[in-house]
Amino acid sequence: MSRKARERLEHNEKRVERRDKMLHHDRANERATVEEVFDQTTRLVVFSLLNAGTLHEVNGVVSSGKEARVYWGKNKEGKDLAVKIYLTSSAEFKKGILKYIEGDPRFKNVKRDTRSLFTVWAQKEFRNLEEACQAKVNVPKTVAVKSNVLVMEFLGKDGKSAPSLKESPPENPERIYKLLITNLKRLYQKAKLVHGDLSEYNVLMWKGKPMIIDMSQSVSIEHPMAKFMLTRDLNNLNRFFNRLDVNVIPLEELQKQVVGK
């Protein structure tokens, strides 16, 4: 066998080994989930991230939603990563994402086919997270994005995600409330973004800090829906912490603090 043929065979064997590792799950329902998410194009994207060394392995499902599945992954050094794969098969969700893309001056002339929309959606979350991180907002750090696959910091341990505020209300809710207000100020005034879907479900408690996640729908403050989305975010914030007996700031005053006017 020639050297090139041997190298090609070894390369293919490694790809099969990675695929088997990635698709190996103990429970049948997990296998079904993987098959649903990993269409042929998505498989190739994940393989390219494995071959490039961005990922070393992809394990079980950490969370599942209408727009995406999040998997627990690792890099070559063994560091935990979150691998978020947007569901290109979700026709219903596809209809809803256009309003968050159109009107955002950062994303123009977007193609309307499914693959293009979900590629932009993944790029949008990647960019939102990067801009939020630069503004010192508590968000997961980004690693890479390709097509409909986003790789980022994993908030949790041993494949178990950090708890959300909904799952585990904080012991000192007043402190967490103030920290979140500080983060929303930075998000609006420095990153020039509005989260757009803030609630107790997408704030995780990790190492004593509230970490804001799920920023794919976040928009520029110039977006026509930005004011409405900010009001909704702040209402959700006050509603949750009011239930925890925190003396919340009235909505109008809170808006002024966050906007900086």
Residues recognised as catalytic: 197, 214
Residue 177 three-state SS: helix
Q: Residues 192, 92: contact at Cβ < 8 Å?
A: no
Residue 102 three-state SS: coil
- Please state, in angstroms and rounded to a whole number, the distance separating the CA atoms of residues 5 and 8: 5
Query: Cα torsion for 127, 208, 179, 128, to the nearest 10°?
Result: 0
DSSP state letter for 203: E
Q: Which amino acid is present at 136? A: K
Q: Residues 57, 45: contact at Cβ < 8 Å?
A: no
CA atoms within 13 A of residue 167's CA, in its CB half-sphere = 11
Residue carrying the six token digits 């999040």:
70
Q: Which residues 6+ apart lie within 8 Å of 80 measured at CB?
A: 72, 73, 74, 154, 156, 157, 159
